Amino acid sequence: MLKFKELDDKKKRLIIIVSVLVVFIGVTLAYVVGQISDGAIGNANVTADTTDNLQFSVDKDISLNPTQFNVTEGGGGLSDTAVGTATLLANSTDETATYDYYVYFNIKSNDYTYTTEYNKSEIVLTITDPEGNPVTKLANSDLKYVEAENADGTITKGFDITTASGLINIASLYEITSNSSTDATVQDWTFTVKM
């Protein structure tokens, strides 16, 4: 059973972890997990003692399978998208609830290497926040925000994850508020990986 630490009033800290298995010769988005500030990790559905209901989910796995036949030198042509969702329904007593959560992108393994002499960006991660804005800066990360040219000549803006691995902090203390016990607040994070 998961327990929350009270922070102040109705603010609680949670973590969304969006996991990605990048390139054993494939890219796969795994799942979203809720983590409470005291470190306990649980399944994607978390309910607080006050009966506020906060849920995390991801709609599908991202899967890219680059091979010598479907990727040209310098990358090209492959992409996949997944949406991570935080949903909050306030308790029926107060009809209001506010939580803070973290969003992480985890690259579990990445054996991919640049195929060009100049280390041109080949795998790019684009992220859209719940407000519909592109995420262009990451706290505590040395990933570079780049403009990469796709095989068809179009430009993709995002973070170069060609050789990246490990946990990437996407958002810290992102607030979600619900003022209803019947109509949930929904926040969608869109992740796209392109080659």
Number of domain units in the chain: 1
Domain annotation covers residue 7: no
pLDDT value at 30 more than 60: no
pLDDT of residue 145: 96
User: Is the per-residue pLDDT at 178 higher than 90?
Assistant: yes
Determine how many CB atoms are found less than 10 A away from the CB of residue 76.
Answer: 17
pLDDT of residue 31 exceeding 50, the answer is no
Q: Which residues are registered as beta bridge partners of 180?
A: none
Q: Between β-strands 63-64 and 53-58, what pairing exists: parallel, antiparallel or unpaired?
A: unpaired
Residue 45 included in any domain: yes
Residues 21, 122: Cα–Cα separation, whole Å: 16
pLDDT at 141: 84
Residue 20 lies in a domain: yes
Q: Which has more pLDDT, 106 or 15?
A: 106
CA distances from 74 to 20, 77, 108, 192 (A): 22, 11, 23, 18
Does residue 2 sit within a domain?
A: no
pLDDT value of position 38: 41
**pLDDT band for position 48 (cuts 50, 70, 90):** very low
For residue 175, is it within any domain? yes
Domain membership flag for residue 4: no
pLDDT value, residue 128: 96
Helix (H) or strand (E) holding 89: strand 79-89
- Joined together, the tokens standing for residue 110 give 């990445």
Contact 174, 11 (CB under 8 A): no
Q: What is the dihedral of CA 55, 186, 33, 133, to 10 degrees?
A: -170
pLDDT value for 62:
73
Asked whether residue 5 is assigned to any structural domain, the reply reads no
Task: Answer whether residue 97 is part of any domain.
Answer: yes
Tell me the backbone φ, ψ of residue 25, rounded to 5 degrees. 115, 35
Identify the three-state secondary structure at position 48. coil
Which pLDDT tens digit goes with each residue over 125-176? 999 999 999 999 997 788 999 998 876 678 889 999 988 888 888 988 899 9
Q: Is the dihedral angle over the CA atoms 58, 141, 122, 153 positive or is it negative?
A: positive
Sheet holding 185-194: strands in order across?
45-47, 53-58, 79-89, 185-194, 124-128, 155-160, 145-149
What length does the chain have?
Answer: 195
Distance CA 84, CA 135 (A): 14
| Structural domain containing residue 75 | 13-194
Per-residue pLDDT tens digits for 81-115: 888 899 999 988 888 999 888 888 877 777 777 77
